[in-house]
Amino acid sequence: MWFFKTPEIVFGEEALAYLERLEGRRAFIVTDAQVRGLGLVRPVEERLRRAGFEIDVFDAITPNPTIDQVRAGADEIRAFQPDWIVAVGGGSVIDAAKAIWVLFERPDLDPLGISPMEPLGLRRRARLIAVPTTSGTGSEATWAIVLTDPRARRKLAVGSRENLPDIAIVDPSVVLQLPPRLTADTGMDALSHAVEGYVSTWHNPFSDALCLQAARTIFTYLPRAYQHGAEDPEARAQMHLAATMAGVGIGDVLVGLAHSLGHALGARFDLPHGRAVGLFLPYVIEFNARSAAGRYADLARAIGLEAPDGTEAAFRLARAVLDLLDRLEQPQTIAACEIPRDDFEADLPTLVEYALEDPCTLTNPRAPTREEVAHLFMYAFEGRPVDF
């Protein structure tokens, strides 16, 4: 038995106009100060007001949202009592909005108590709309919530199928002006979703189709979106679509070890999520080569590589990812992220512990030992091909 759940998706030009069809009285917008400063919240507000909504904007979310930010948002939303929550931002904002929504409907819960095993009873007070402003996280199409404990310098994954957004509004106009570095970071996140979702031990026919198509689309259009930005609206639209497709693809099958390693490193050394996960992807492909050779061959063929049977296809795919990182001017090693070796090695035992405890490790096709996780971190620091 397996599950496949997805929000209602509104995609394309003028998708934001769908907001004018909503019925309700109050809309609580969750965003961050940068997204609001760029003017990306204004068109959402305008359309909601045309629909007759009273609006409150909570813009205190930061990259890698913290538990305290979620609690502050929950306090504000309880005072406002909306019937719609609208998340306008990247994955950090959308994840935070999911957690705020849960605490609004379940004030008895601690944010870290949000779990698939805990019935939440959502939608008695409000429903959730996600408007992604980056093309990468896929959070608009998943129920995962990643929060940061700044005191422990640790990312924690929680969530329930109940907190999947009701509607995802995927409007390419929102991402036309995305800067090159953010395009690369979030694009590599989307690619990591597609690749890891396809080889997940929980994969199913629906996730397979979406992840394969997303991988094919990202390899084609991410370099164009990075190089040309708003001058290539087709690439922007295709990347926005592919990111959501990859999000739907992983929504019920999860991801793998590149995410576990990336979560650990990103939280300890304050790296953007997509940059950290994308960095580990080729090393994890090589690590998993013997356990998922046939599925990596499918992915390699999908992006146009000659893929012989056996592990060679996985290594060719890993090299293609490294080449893509090079074209996007992304770091291919931890050392290239300007993390001092002494600091990294001092934190290595904690990094290994956090990666092993991450839920994403559960669905990786090869179950790693503690020693193997430590080796992966060290190989990624130095840029060595995985040979174990």
Domain with CATH 3.40.50.1970 in the chain: 8-175
More confident residue, 111 or 2: 111
CB atoms within 10 A of CB 11: 15
Contact (Cβ atoms closer than 8 angstroms) between residue 220 and residue 238: yes
The set of residues, in sequence order, having a beta carbon less than 8 Å from that of 109 and lying 6+ positions away, is: 102, 103, 118, 120
| CA–CA distances in Å: residue 119 to residues 113, 217, 280, 284 | 11, 37, 34, 34
Residue 346, amino acid? A
- The values of phi and psi at residue 88, to 5°, are -120, 105
CATH number of this structure's domain 8-175: 3.40.50.1970
d(CA 384, CA 371): 16
Which residues sit opposite 130 in a β-bridge?
87, 168
Contact (Cβ atoms closer than 8 angstroms) between residue 318 and residue 332: no
d(CA 96, CA 87): 9
Q: Please report the pLDDT score of residue 116 as a whole number.
A: 86
Contact (Cβ atoms closer than 8 angstroms) between residue 162 and residue 265: no
Domain with CATH 1.20.1090.10 in the chain: 180-382
Mean pLDDT of 184-190: 98
Contact (Cβ atoms closer than 8 angstroms) between residue 142 and residue 207: no
Q: Please report the pLDDT score of residue 2 as a whole number.
A: 77
Confidence of residue 145 (pLDDT cuts 50, 70, 90): very high
pLDDT at 311 exceeding the cut of 80:
yes
Confidence of residue 119 (pLDDT cuts 50, 70, 90): very high
- Sheet bearing 127-132, strands edge to edge: 8-11, 167-170, 127-132, 84-89, 26-32, 54-61
Q: Please report the pLDDT score of residue 366 as a whole number.
A: 98
Q: What percent of the chain has pLDDT over 70?
A: 100
Which residue in the block uniquely carries the two structure tokens 């990336």? 262
3-state secondary structure of 223: helix
- The values of phi and psi at residue 82, to 5°, are -80, 165
d(CA 156, CA 278): 19
**Strands, DSSP E only, in 204-354?**
none
Mean pLDDT of 93-98: 98
CB atoms within 10 A of CB 118: 14
Fold of 180-382: Dehydroquinate synthase-like, alpha domain (1.20.1090)
Q: Please report the pLDDT score of residue 309 as a whole number.
A: 78
Contact (Cβ atoms closer than 8 angstroms) between residue 186 and residue 136: yes
Q: Please report the pLDDT score of residue 308 as a whole number.
A: 82
Tokens representing 60 are: 């205190």
Tokens representing 291 are: 């356990």
pLDDT at 373 exceeding the cut of 80:
yes
Tokens representing 173 are: 């106009």
Measured between its terminal Cα atoms, the distance across the chain in Å is: 34
Residue-wise pLDDT for 360-372, tens only, equals 999 999 999 999 9
Contact (Cβ atoms closer than 8 angstroms) between residue 197 and residue 211: yes
d(CA 365, CA 360): 11
Confidence of residue 3 (pLDDT cuts 50, 70, 90): confident
